[in-house]
A and B are shown apart, each in its own frame.
Chain A
Amino acid sequence: MNTKNVYADNNATTMVAPEVKETMEPFFTNLYGNPSSMHVFGGQVKKFVDRAREQIAALIHADPAEIVFTSCGTESDNAAIRGILAAHPEKKHIITSRVEHPAVKNVFQFLEKNGYRLTELSVDRLGRIDLDELREKLDNDTALVSIMWANNETGVVFPMQEIAELVKSKGAVFHTDAVQAAGKVSIDMNTTPVDLLSLSGHKLHAPKGIGILYIRKGTHFVPFIMGGHQEGGRRAGTENVPYIVGLGKACELALDHLEENKSHIKVLRDKLEKELLQKAVDASVNGDPENRLPNTTNISFKYIEGESILMLLSEAGIAASSGSACTSGSLEPSHVLRAMGVPFTRVHGSVRFSLSRYNTDEEVSYIIENMLAIEKTLREISPFGRDELHAEQ
């Protein structure tokens, strides 16, 4: 193994920030009280939970009382969808997009098998949804619309303001999975009429195992996990105090670093993308270049295969992801890229690099150098040579 380690898979998960780890530590030792307890052990811990709630609310400009702690983004999505439908049993139509994360997609498909009418909005070649199609599909029977804030694979950011306003104007409830967007682009619940929003800790330098569901005041909601009265009766279970405190700190840091997304991360991403596109034999970007997360680039190398690319990147100490069928465990390549109509020849050779504030310019140069060498190696053993490349262009 080599000494270099470059982590460029931050849409999968992120490093826990050292400040976050430090903030959490006392809660594994001295501060072990149950925040619901009526004694000093509980009371002293409750303050920190309240503080974390404020820090998280600040990141998305919400009221702390609207923040509900969960175990992860997937739980937040499940709780939002099921909690809203349980509160509106008379409505039987639900809308989502074709490019959602499985935490939403699979729940909606399950609901379709259980009596709901499901509309999955299509996307265009750049991965954008069509607001007119959404307008057309909304009707009096629509209980819930769930559309992600930003796509995990391509980084495409959806027009949340327009979508939320449109859904609200038709009287349906709007949920967004903002797991990839939080901490990368600004989110403002004061101005964007989203009803429910999911956020996950481990995508913004908090540990795995903690998430939140934002539930706007006045939203009718039936709790997904029932039991005690925690979280204002919206999510039972003793609070995961160390992780809650950690998430609070991570959100505070994310807010502090929000501008850095433009000044640092986007600069690195643009360099990575630009140089790979220029110097590779055949590479193309997947996703809307205009509305995209600043840290994500999804690049297809035609006629070479994603898992092979990842294995060779890994040999060089570089971590990234691919939409290739071979990396998924199923035989299906990325449903996101297929929904965008990216041809198979490019889907199988797609690689996602996702950066964080911990990446450096030197690391990006290292990725570029290695990626170009890997492209050359794999093209040499691919049966599709330059002839095919030129013939199709």
Chain B
Amino acid sequence: MWDYSKKVKDHFLHPRNAGQIENPDAVGEAGSLACGDQMKLMLKIDENEVITDAKFQTFGCGSAVASASALTEMIMGKKLDEAAHITNKDIVDYLGGLPVEKMHCSVMGHEALESALHNFRGTSPEPAEEAKKHIVCECFGVTDDEILRIVQENSLTTIEDVTHYTKAGGGCMSCHDKIKGLIEQVVGEEKAQQPPRPAGAKLTNIQKMKLIEETFEKEIRPMLKADGGDIELIDIDGNKVIVSLRGMCSSCTSSTFTLKKYIEPKLKEFVSEDLFIEEVKP
């Protein structure tokens, strides 16, 4: 059984605003039956563009019902412009968290709201906007712009995350490369926005050592271990990183190649361009 928060359980067992509105001013839909969830959102909107009533109907699991219920509570009494700023993350926060595999339920809530707002404005959804979209995940019909937005809003870094949040990639998995590309695109944009580390920035020795050790742990060791080898950091002398290869690596004829072509570039990438590597025999 999923570990749902008290609030999720409460909103599932006692859904707020479940049902229909007669003559709604806006209707939004999201999800699909094939995927196992579907949500319909109905709104009453007054002349000042304030949401005066919201009701939902959901086919789906406990967290899908809870997300829809939470959404209606969150938007009630809000102006449309305010409501438009609500993200899936806001829904998750309101519910006191969701299991990561269930994040797509909050995304469905957000999409139903978006769809309702488009429906109200009669602009729905702009053809230009529509034309820019491309389906990435054929199994669940998820588009690139949707993935980009969710990756950005929730700071996702892996394909698995994207699947948990959007379902994309959870079926035949043939789109995994495309999803990876989209994640990299977002990460790249974010990096570009950050001030680049000034070239030759002076790392203190402790910072440098820490970064080098971290790079060994995260980037280098796992790769070597997969081949039955290992590496030991012996010393750091200025920009010279002195290492000793262990296990299979120590007797491997391609170890120099590994050092120069794989390990050194990693250190340059993650620590500093000035580093170079030197091997001592154990």
Mark A residues whose CB is within 8 Å of B. 303-308, 310-312, 314-315, 324-327, 329-333, 344-345, 348, 380-384
Contacts and interface: CB of A to CB of B under 8 A. Distances in A.
A307 B58 CA distance: 13
Contacts of B35: 325, 331
Given A315-B13, A333-B36, A380-B18, A308 B60 contact: yes
A314 B60 contact: no
5 contacts: A307-B62, A324-B36, A327-B61, A344-B34, A383-B39
Interface string B96-114: 0000011000000000000
Nearest to A304: B59
Interface of B: 1-2, 9, 12-13, 15, 18-19, 29, 33-40, 56-62, 64-65, 101-102, 140, 163, 167, 170-171
Nearest to A329: B101
A344 B33 CA distance: 7
A330 B170 contact: yes
A305 B170 contact: no
A305 B36 contact: yes
Given A308-B12, A311-B12, A326-B60, A381 B1 contact: no
Q: Which 10 A-B pairs rank lowest in CB-CB distance, beginning with the nearest? A: A331-B170, A326-B61, A307-B61, A383-B57, A383-B40, A381-B18, A348-B36, A325-B36, A344-B34, A382-B59
A348 to B, nearest CB: 4
A326 B59 CA distance: 12
Contact of A314 (B1, B18, B64): B1
A308 B40 contact: no
A383 B68 CA distance: 12
B18 A324 contact: no
Contacts of A304: 59
A384 B38 contact: yes
B173 to A, nearest CB: 11
B49 to A, nearest CB: 25
A271 to B, nearest CB: 27
Contacts of B61: 305-308, 324, 326-327
Contact of B170 (A324, A332, A381): A332
Contacts of B101: 329
A326 B58 contact: no
Nearest to A311: B62
Nearest to B34: A344
Contacts of B163: 331
Contacts of B9: 311
A311 B1 CA distance: 9
B139 to A, nearest CB: 9
A323 to B, nearest CB: 11
Given A344-B33, A381-B18, A381-B65, 11 more contacts: A304-B59, A305-B60, A307-B61, A308-B61, A330-B170, A331-B167, A345-B33, A380-B19, A381-B58, A383-B39, A384-B38
Contact of B38 (A311, A314, A383): A383
Nearest to B69: A381
Contacts of B56: 381
A162 B15 CA distance: 52
A208 B281 CA distance: 51
Given A305-B36, A308-B65, A333-B36, A383 B58 contact: yes
Contacts of A381: 15, 18-19, 56-58, 65
Most A CB within 10 A of own CB, among B36, B65, B101: B36
A341 to B, nearest CB: 14
Contact of B59 (A303, A315, A325, A330): A303
A89 B11 CA distance: 57
Most B CB within 10 A of own CB, among A304, A310, A311, A325: A311
B170 to A, nearest CB: 4
A383 B167 contact: no
Contacts of A382: 57-59
Contacts of B15: 381
Contacts of A383: 29, 38-40, 57-59
A326 B36 contact: yes
Contacts of B170: 330-332
Given A308-B62, A331-B163, A344 B57 contact: no
Nearest to A345: B33
Contacts of B62: 307-308, 311, 326
A110 B57 CA distance: 42
A47 B177 CA distance: 60
A303 B60 CA distance: 9
Contacts of B57: 381-383
Contacts of A333: 36
Nearest to A303: B59
A305 B37 contact: yes
Contacts of A332: 170-171
A86 B152 CA distance: 50
Contacts of A330: 170
Nearest to B164: A331
B160 to A, nearest CB: 11
A327 B57 CA distance: 20
B5 to A, nearest CB: 14
A116 B102 CA distance: 36
Contacts of A331: 35-36, 140, 163, 167, 170-171
Contacts of A312: 13
A308 B59 CA distance: 9
A212 B198 CA distance: 65
A344 B167 CA distance: 16
A345 B1 CA distance: 22
Nearest to A333: B36
Contacts of B19: 380-381
Contacts of B18: 380-381
A84 B278 CA distance: 50
Contacts of A311: 9, 12-13, 62
Contact of A305 (B1, B2, B59): B59
B174 to A, nearest CB: 14
Contacts of A303: 33, 59
Contacts of B60: 305, 308, 326
A221 to B, nearest CB: 31
